[in-house]
Amino acid sequence: MPTGTVKFFNYDKGYGFISNDGGGADAFVHISAVETAGLPGLNKDERISYELETGSNGKISAINLQAAA
C-alpha cells in the first residue's frame, strides 16, 4: 500500500491530490473515497496510505484511504 502526504484537498470542489512518498505522479483523491474511508476529512500535509484504482474513464485515483503513522 503506497503512502503519501496530502498536497491539496478542496472540500467545496470535492477532490484533491496526494503526493506519493515513492515519487512519481500525484494521486487524485475524490471526496467519495474520503467518505467511504470514514475519515473526517483530509488536511494539507496529513500522512495517508492508500491503494490506486483505474476507473471506467481510465483515470487513476486513490481509494481505501487510511491515516498513516
User: Residue 24 pLDDT > 90, yes or no?
Assistant: no
| pLDDT score at 37 | 96
pTM of the model: 0.90
User: Residue 40 pLDDT > 90, yes or no?
Assistant: no
Mean pLDDT for 35-47 is: 94
- The CA dihedral of 1, 4, 41, 64, to the nearest 10 degrees, is -10
What is the fold, at CATH topology level, of the domain defined by 3-67?
Answer: OB fold (Dihydrolipoamide Acetyltransferase, E2P) (2.40.50)
**Residue boundaries of the structural domains of the chain:** 3-67
DSSP secondary structure, 13-68, as one string:
TTEEEEEETT-SSPEEEEHHHHHHTT-S---TT-EEEEEEEE-TTS-EEEEEEEE-
